[in-house]
Amino acid sequence: MVLELQRRFQGTPFSNRLKVIQGDVLKCDLPYFDICVANIPYQISSPLTFKLLSHRPMFRCAVIMFQREFAMRLVAQPGDTLYCRLGVNTQLLARVSHLLKVGKNNFRPPPKVDSSVVRIEPRKPQPSVNFKEWDGLVRICFNRKNKTLGSIFRQKSVLSILEKNYKTLLALQFSQKGSSENKEMALNVSALGDTGEDLSMEIDDDEMEVEDVETRGSEFKDKVLEVLKQGGFEEKRSSKLTEADFMHLLSLFNKAGIHFS
């Protein structure tokens, strides 16, 4: 394909305006670009989307064809069946809109899945949020998106990681108490919750109930649940929360000294 493109442009007025980069898009350093138009291998949909959104300077617009279910997850709204962490994180960083469905019979030979074309426009300016903190919270909330947040945050695995973060932060603040600047730096430590545990793992309902029994009486658990009650989140479900709700919840946790990264 590279040779064919070069052959078609050779000797035309556009030949000096074409630059072909041959390689793995996930491994290549992308040049400056304003517009991205792509039909991609569907297995790289998620990493490519976030590679584009992390590219600087920010591009103006991307129009990409994805597998239909992935596309529907990108544009899903609170309350939709496909509303998930992928959509929440993407919509935090960009405006995403569905342009058209492309049925599998439009291809020869027809694939096994339908496709959709999606438009992605990065938000400018980007939201002022610590993305690692944000993603840490959203990962936990979407472990069981239809369970109440009160149930999710009673899990022993969740409480254990958050309590480690909390104690680490207190230790950092104590050791740096003579410098307000250093205190501020401690709040932004990105590796506070790096315990090697996978919070994206789905947890069985039975396991959740057992773990809840084991953590009764925990002062830290009471602190976490008090944050949820303060914001009226204890009986709410992640599947119904908006971006503003997650922002508010994250700010309440952070004010209480509870961090997710």
Please state the residue numbers annotated as binding site: 1, 24, 39
Q: 141 vs 48, 72, 155, 201, CA distance in Å?
A: 24, 20, 11, 11
Furthest C-alpha separation in the chain? 78
Under a CB-based contact definition with an 8 Å cutoff, are residues 193 and 133 in contact?
Answer: no
Helix (H) or strand (E) holding 5: helix 2-9
Under a CB-based contact definition with an 8 Å cutoff, are residues 209 and 155 in contact?
Answer: no
Spatial separation of the C-alpha atoms in residues 40 and 251, rounded to whole Å: 37
Residue list for the binding site for S-adenosyl-L-methionine: 1, 24, 39
Q: 165 vs 157, 174, 196, 231, 233, CA distance in Å?
A: 13, 14, 13, 21, 21
